[in-house]
Structure 1
């Protein structure tokens, strides 16, 4: 497998080993402090004056505290993978995939060979996917700065593994160049409205911070607004209040417009070359149920555990309104 999830027994063993090592370090620190001066009944430990029974008094409490934090704190850990991916042109780029279980978010980020920075954020709670593109300007054509565009679309559960599953993945060979198992082709999104970031909370609270540099270039579709309105606690009125529709009369593509200052419909395509799109399961033997009423020993039960992932590639094309062709020079 490219990436392996820990077997349940291995995970427990790793946690136990972490507790043991932390306890040994803590014990040595305290014993060193207590043995520093045998002629004094009170010594300092970590800057505090303690008695000789300090270690024995607090070691059991420390063990329970550490164990609880390891077990409860697993879901608060931010997990990150760095993946070397070969694109269809043969170039190798590095993807960073971060899982935040507390926020139920996954962030995937990479820089294309032309310098474009792509950030994909999946908000599982609100079923929102944000794709942010930072495109470098073309200095020879009067663009001295970069452009930032954001596209918020409805996320379909099952298109990406969950944040909790993502956090459990471990990479065996970090330097290996990866290729996806399945190519999901290209999906086209025709955007219909701008998002007013200062009113974007009904969509997702992550939109305003992530897309702060795209105040006039954050886009959404009407069909997605209607889909989000069906979610508990949402309403179409609050969602529509966060948007402004494009002009209805415009239908000319930017590659058909000669003037750099004329409005037009822009196309932007990006491809996620590698991402975990599903889980794989392995079978193992669990603990048997013991003897039945006749005394016969029952067979061990079969259990399934996560042992790997399915990987995919997918391209997305966004069509959206720009006020000037100058904002869409790549679409020619």
Structure 2
């Protein structure tokens, strides 16, 4: 169970429930069960000063996932560090970054996240609500040298992705309306959903042929909604709601994007 503590009891909460608070940042570690049955640890960090929440975990295949929900800049960043197989001619690892407009209904505010504490840190958590998959057509590349317009930490987070940083036209139109520079973005070739000439990577015979790659992930546990209770001490007819917990959700993400050749998409195979 999750709940909020009053200010006079916050110190006791830190000791009893292992909720770590360091300055403006608060960290919570939650054990979750991945789709393959493996147990993983999610790290959720709330930064009140930046008004952002970071979620990190490692998938069953060793891929390290980092997702940043930046409320201040209306940006959502997905970073995947994917381990390669050098014995098959692959690099030791590959980094992908996807940046989209933030959906503010996807996770609770950073201020509420910072006050969340855990009663039983050893319990394996299962989300109360299993949401579907969000399909994201990443048709634009991001120029890392100009990403300060999106997020001050974006360049440092995604610098290892090199040219593997993508976004969407629909999100760019929104950012343009907020005064972002057009030089941040570069058009990508159409995917096979639009142009049949560009095949999906598993269907290409020539390993050096441009193709459409897919990558997917699932956040198994995030606090997505606030729960409110009503005090019984107030006079009848005078409601006095207060935060008394959260609702947890899981959600999947599927990204389609263009790559110069199939060798940059070794994980995407026909099923």
Establish whether TM, by shorter chain, passes 0.5: yes
> Is structure 2 residue 43 aligned with structure 1 residue 96?
yes
CA shift digits 1:122-173 (9 cap, x unpaired): 1101111000000000233211410000000111112110000000101000
> Is structure 2 residue 262 aligned with structure 1 residue 325?
yes
Which one has a larger percent strand, Structure 1 or Structure 2? Answer: 2
Aligned to 1:40: none
Q: TM-score, normalised by structure 2?
A: 0.88
Q: In the TM superposition, what is the alpha-carbon distance from 1:325 to its structure 2 partner?
A: 0.8
Q: In the TM superposition, what is the alpha-carbon distance from 1:12 to its structure 2 partner?
A: 3.5
Aligned to 1:13: 8
Q: Distance in 1 between matches of 2:75 and 2:11?
A: 37
Q: Distance in 2 between matches of 1:263 and 1:285?
A: 64
1:157-196 to structure 2, matched below 5 A, reads 157-196=104-143
Task: Note closer, same or farther for the CA distance 1:90–1:202 as it changes in structure 2 (3 Å cut).
Answer: same
Q: Distance in 1 between matches of 2:56 and 2:73?
A: 20
Q: CA RMSD in A?
A: 2.2
Aligned to 1:274: 221
Q: Structure 2: 5+ residue runs without aligned partners? A: 14-20
Q: In the TM superposition, what is the alpha-carbon distance from 1:191 to its structure 2 partner?
A: 0.7
Aligned to 1:32: none
CA shift digits 1:91-129 (9 cap, x unpaired): 111100000000011000000111000000011011110
CA shift digits 1:233-290 (9 cap, x unpaired): x24xx1x21011113566210011122222111000111111111111111246x6xx
Which has the greater radius of gyration?
1
Q: Distance in 1 between matches of 2:228 and 2:253?
A: 29
Which one has a larger percent helix, Structure 1 or Structure 2? Answer: 1
Q: In the TM superposition, what is the alpha-carbon distance from 1:175 to its structure 2 partner?
A: 0.3
- Aligned counterpart for 1:85 among listed residues 16, 32, 36: 32
Q: Distance in 2 between matches of 1:320 and 1:313?
A: 23
Aligned to 1:305: 242
Alpha-carbon contact 1:282-1:307 (below 8 Å) kept: yes
- Aligned counterpart for 2:151 among listed residues 173, 185, 204: 204
Q: TM-score, normalised by structure 1?
A: 0.73
Q: In the TM superposition, what is the alpha-carbon distance from 1:75 to its structure 2 partner?
A: 10
Task: Note closer, same or farther for the CA distance 1:331–1:299 as it changes in structure 2 (3 Å cut).
Answer: closer
